[in-house]
Amino acid sequence: MHAIADLLTRAGVETDVVDAVQDAIWEKVLVNVGINAATALARVDNGLLADTDPGARLLASAVEEAADVARAEGHAVRDDVVEYVSDVASATGSNRSSMRQDVERGRRTEIERLNGAVVARADDHDVAVPVNRTLTDLVRLTERGYDAA
The residues that are catalytic are 28
CA 97 vs CA 19, 42, 71, 74, 83: distances in Å: 28, 11, 26, 28, 19
Radius of gyration of the chain (CA): 16
> d(Cα 93, Cα 88) in Å, to the nearest integer?
8
Burial of 59 from C-beta contacts in 10 A (0-12 / 13-18 / 19+) = buried
Residues 6+ apart with CB under 8 A from 113: none
Q: What is the dihedral of CA 44, 37, 100, 21, to 10 degrees?
A: 120
